[in-house]
Amino acid sequence: MSEIQHPPGCTCGAHDDKGMDRRQALRSLGALGAGLTLGPTVALGAFSDHARREELTGARAVQQGKAQKFTLLYTSDIHSQLHTHDEFFMENGKAVYKKRGGYGVLKTMIDTLRAEDPANTIVIDGGDCFQGGGVAAMSEGRAIVPLMNRVGYDLILPGNWEVVYGKENMLKDLGGYQASKICANMWHEKLAEFCGPMRDPNEELAGELIFPPYWTTNVAGVKIGFIGYNDPLTPKRQSPAYSCGIKFTKPEQNVARYIRHLREYEQCAMVFLVTHMGLAQQVDLANKPEVDGADLILGADTHERVRKPIDAKHSKVVEPGSFGSFVARLDVVVEDGKVKDSHYELLDVDPEKYPADEGMLALVDQVSAPYKEQLGKVVGSTKNTLVRYYVIENPMDNLVTDAIMWKLKPDIAISNGFRFCPPIVADGKTPTPITNDHLWSMIPVDSDAKYGEATGRQIWDWLEKELQNVFAKEPAKRFGGWVVRFQGMTANFTMHNDMGKRVNWIKVKGRPIEMDRYYTIAACEREGDPDHVLCRMEHVRNPRRAGITMHTILREYFGKFSPVAPKVEGRITATDAPQDLLSQLEGYDYEFR
């Protein structure tokens, strides 16, 4: 065996003590340099008032130029809500509704806040932009791209619903964004058998990340970094066909490596995680040692309104609400390359404070024009407010299951635990019109209705699994949706019980469920599910399509029964949770309002 030759003067030999000492010295120097540059992990205060922010930004060091400030503006889960709408708030134990959101108002607000310090303001979105409204659905997301570009985002994370039109459309829509994109846990993958005969033009990239894992930028004299993560449960939460050609992995598999890379090699003063995983999962992630070194998790998915950062063991977590109704703002003061102070607050996208930008309104009209006549058609009306914010039961899904029951006449009608669709407010006197556009917000995919038959035992076990998805004691196992909805069946459960022991009783048409009896069920089809699966219930008997779509069922129901008046009526109740429960997260200083 020949001897390894080294260049003259090389000190990299395996047995070179001087070389070993040099490597150790370089490591120590690198660590020291990082420490001098980075400063302490940011201490986000418990303040959320405007006066506190003015105090921070008006500090003498900032005014005299000894310290600098940068600002993050953060939105998420806009769900293609183009216009100012009624938004739900809980005040003094009562639901109230105020006008919020709309791309025109959001544009004015972002421009106003960015104008305070254009060079040191970064605008970020956490995903679920091009799904949830009629214009988005009918254009397969394309119409939303110019609107996001006009807002002027710097960085965007794909959310779990970005896959709704398939991988190819996701890549084209996100590719149309002028903003940078990141995601460290979405990978190219060879198509599964259930994907059928479709072809993936990117099949040769199998095993590679679809998007860059992180993004860095320089502001206020320091470098900061962002690492992105989508919900690893996306293929189970969504119809499996949407994720054909995409593999999702858990953040714990690589987040520590990327945090270390940004801290030690990129020498970032702050590291942020931008995640679309749901508040419970994000708080769980912030408790894991793998995220040590991440200053803040900019979360998304469950539409939670975090007004004070939630403290966990290794990081902090925020979420900025949904539907373009809120903007989260973080101001950070930096001095000598170190973080000195910070302030976080959640701001309303209020049309009274920020009159809508006329150019954006014109652009909204332009992208909506091809679909305006169809989407604006009135299909019915409601006397009661349709709202979906409640975790356990809500009027909107009671309406959906009422319509399924009326049209298809099963024993049990089921609706998935969707969260989206802003409130449709009615005063109980003059009926509020319902349009085709509303149907796209209520049910974002016009799926086929489907029948199946299941025994009482199957239904009982299925409901246990669905409650586990919402209330699992291990937050990482919680889906982002709320409790599944139904008609024809009533149930009672105990939220805090162990898995498999939550359901106390079930009745079908007022009678205790019979474990050996078969019941007919109707729900929506999920593309890519095996034929024997119905709304995540496996091995149903005699599965068959009903020959009608969900939107058509709702149109016919509205046509016959308008004005409708659905309400919460105790179809499912909990022994240890109120009927108006608004969040899955427990054990932390957080309240949805």
295/246 same-domain check: yes
pLDDT given for residue 196 in this prediction: 80
Residue 538 belongs to a domain = yes
| Cα-Cα end-to-end distance for the chain | 73
189/68 same-domain check: yes
Token pair in block for residue 248: 């999702």
357/491 same-domain check: no
Domain end call among 298, 328, 362: 362
Confidence class of residue 8 from pLDDT cuts 50, 70 and 90? very low
pLDDT given for residue 579 in this prediction: 94
Residue 591 belongs to a domain = no
Residue 555 belongs to a domain = yes
173/307 same-domain check: yes
Domain end call among 362, 395, 415: 362
Contact criterion met (CB below 8 Å) for 516 and 480: no
46 or 71, which is more confident: 71
Q: pTM for the complete prediction?
A: 0.90
Average pLDDT, integer, range 116-128: 97
Contact criterion met (CB below 8 Å) for 334 and 340: yes
Confidence class of residue 64 from pLDDT cuts 50, 70 and 90? low
Residue type for position 121: T
475 or 138, which is more confident: 138
In the sheet that holds 518-524, the strands lie side by side as: 485-487, 412-415, 518-524, 448-455, 541-549
Cα 17 to its chain centre, rounded Å, is 53
Residue 259 belongs to a domain = yes
Per DSSP, the three-state class of 378 is strand
pLDDT given for residue 18 in this prediction: 36
Token pair in block for residue 465: 């699994």
477/526 same-domain check: yes
* CA within 13 Å, CB half, 59: 20
Q: Which helix (H) or strand (E) holds 303?
A: none
Confidence class of residue 438 from pLDDT cuts 50, 70 and 90? very high
234 or 193, which is more confident: 234
Confidence class of residue 239 from pLDDT cuts 50, 70 and 90? confident
DSSP class of residue 58 equals: T
Residue 460 belongs to a domain = yes
DSSP class of residue 368 equals: H
pLDDT given for residue 29 in this prediction: 29
Residues 6 or more apart from 163 whose CB is under 8 A from it?
170, 234, 238, 242, 243, 246
Question: Which of these ranges, 236-245, 253-262, 346-355, 477-486, has the smallest mean pLDDT?
Answer: 477-486
Token pair in block for residue 384: 């009661």
301/159 same-domain check: yes
Give the span between the Cα atoms of 310 and 304, in whole angstroms: 12
354/382 same-domain check: no
CA distances 524 to 55, 172, 443, 536, 541, Å, are 53, 28, 10, 10, 16
pLDDT given for residue 413 in this prediction: 98
DSSP class of residue 570 equals: -
Token pair in block for residue 24: 């150790």
| Number of domain units in the chain | 2
Token pair in block for residue 291: 């995220």
Confidence class of residue 238 from pLDDT cuts 50, 70 and 90? confident
Average pLDDT, integer, range 415-430: 89
Cα 210 to its chain centre, rounded Å, is 19
State what percent of residues in the chain have pLDDT above 70: 91
Q: What is the pLDDT of residues 296-347, one digit of tens each?
A: 999 999 999 999 999 999 999 999 999 999 999 999 998 887 888 899 999 9
Give the span between the Cα atoms of 11 and 23, in whole angstroms: 10
CA distances 296 to 34, 266, 307, 558, Å, are 19, 18, 14, 46
- What is the domain extent for residue 477? 377-574
Token pair in block for residue 112: 């106003």
> How confident is the prediction for the chain on average, in pLDDT?
89
Confidence class of residue 561 from pLDDT cuts 50, 70 and 90? very high
pLDDT given for residue 452 in this prediction: 97
Confidence class of residue 49 from pLDDT cuts 50, 70 and 90? low
352/470 same-domain check: no
Contact criterion met (CB below 8 Å) for 183 and 229: yes
Give the span between the Cα atoms of 273 and 257, in whole angstroms: 13
* Domain harbouring 242, CATH code: 3.60.21.10
CA distances 10 to 3, 29, 30, 39, 369, Å, are 15, 20, 21, 35, 69
Please say if the pLDDT value at position 486 is more than 90: yes
Q: Measured over all CA atoms, what is the biggest interatomic distance in the chain, rounded to whole angstroms? A: 94
Average pLDDT, integer, range 283-292: 96
Nearest to 133 by CA among 306, 305, 324, 274: 324
221/347 same-domain check: yes
Residue type for position 78: I
Domain end call among 303, 333, 362: 362
Token pair in block for residue 476: 């990482």
Please say if the pLDDT value at position 358 is more than 70: yes
461/356 same-domain check: no
398/432 same-domain check: yes
Token pair in block for residue 586: 């427990």
Residue 102 belongs to a domain = yes
Give the span between the Cα atoms of 404 and 448, in whole angstroms: 12
H helical segments located in 338-383:
358-368, 372-375
Confidence class of residue 23 from pLDDT cuts 50, 70 and 90? very low
59/194 same-domain check: yes
Nearest to 352 by CA among 99, 70, 60: 99
Residue type for position 380: G
pLDDT given for residue 291 in this prediction: 97
Give the span between the Cα atoms of 319 and 298, in whole angstroms: 6
Residue 7 belongs to a domain = no
Q: What is the pLDDT of residues 249-258, one digit of tens each?
A: 999 999 999 9
Give the span between the Cα atoms of 535 and 522, in whole angstroms: 9
Q: What is the pLDDT of residues 190-205, one digit of tens each?
A: 998 888 887 888 888 9
Omega prior to 563 cis, within 30 of 0: yes
For the residues of 407-424, what is the DSSP string, one character each?
HH--SEEEE-----S--B
Residue 8 belongs to a domain = no
Please say if the pLDDT value at position 5 is more than 90: no
DSSP class of residue 172 equals: H
